[in-house]
Structure 1
């Protein structure tokens, strides 16, 4: 079995020959759908917090019947038709359907384990549900504003595109985290330096001596200040 590359860039390059380029309408559509589910918008592009350890422990995987997208038809009938839509007019009822199924698997808020390198079981579960609902929405002709090539709209390719996007987000998250840690260290160092400056203001002269100092005989006469 070939060894999986650890580098995000190398892994993305490896799979790029099997999927459309990142600016292809299919990739844009999948990213838009993923961002909608995660609650990301133009005005709020902050990634949601990673799941807690309790959330990860209580999440339940998909079973064989859960994978069937036809099971969503009945559920969709229970959701009122909405005119509200995101940038590319993806109906929000598909977000409601997706969040509803996530809740059934004890995923109370959609997110990924951004702080853990590689794909975790939690990530895989969220991706499986996302891909399932993207395919369902696509079959309902909900992505008409995206000129999609039907040959690429398979579960495998859609999953790979989501995974590629996730790897990029994890890499950015790690860099931001390191930058924040570096900034925190700089602030702490500056605070220490500020403390030294405050002390020098209290005792400003380098040749300052204590109020008592031994003379040649070992006595400690009082030194009068100027």
Structure 2
């Protein structure tokens, strides 16, 4: 399926490191979910449906429960995050509106490329979609080398690109504008929650970025050009061969 459709995650992986992304596409690693991903999916599956939640728990029972059946700390944390969402009136109004569809699979053509996306909650009638993001700390700052300033987790993980793809696919399919609302809940002791409206200009900027770079990504995938190594990711570090001497100053990576 990854060879047939582009996704926001795959595109971002190629922008980070073409060599690592191509290797992952050719040799998909065994699925080993990180702790952060499992907690996030714990929350997402609960919000999707009782069936999805139970199936997720059955598949990951040992991670969230002891042999005696008691909940582990990660399950308790996930429950706190779920409770925070459930008790918030604004979240309930937008995410669980009667007109909302959950976990909507969407496909379409963007920039002569087939894309696939999965939307957490979609309200076609009112023209908006919602996405739940779980994060370590809502107000944690990340240093952006590109922007040379501190940025939020939204910018660190470039969610504007992901949401921009969703928005463009929806607008192409339904021929109407859509707004994007992110509900971000964190894993701190107090479990903070925030409602974020993704600016349209940020999403449009990322669409221009995709349009500029998508042809190269497609050429790398097709084998028409050699992928570029970033020399910083785990894949590059594990496969790098020495081919020259460097100066001490080059040890400092920007």
Name the TM-score, length of structure 1 as normaliser: 0.31
Larger Rg: 1
More strand by share: 2
Name the TM-score, length of structure 2 as normaliser: 0.28
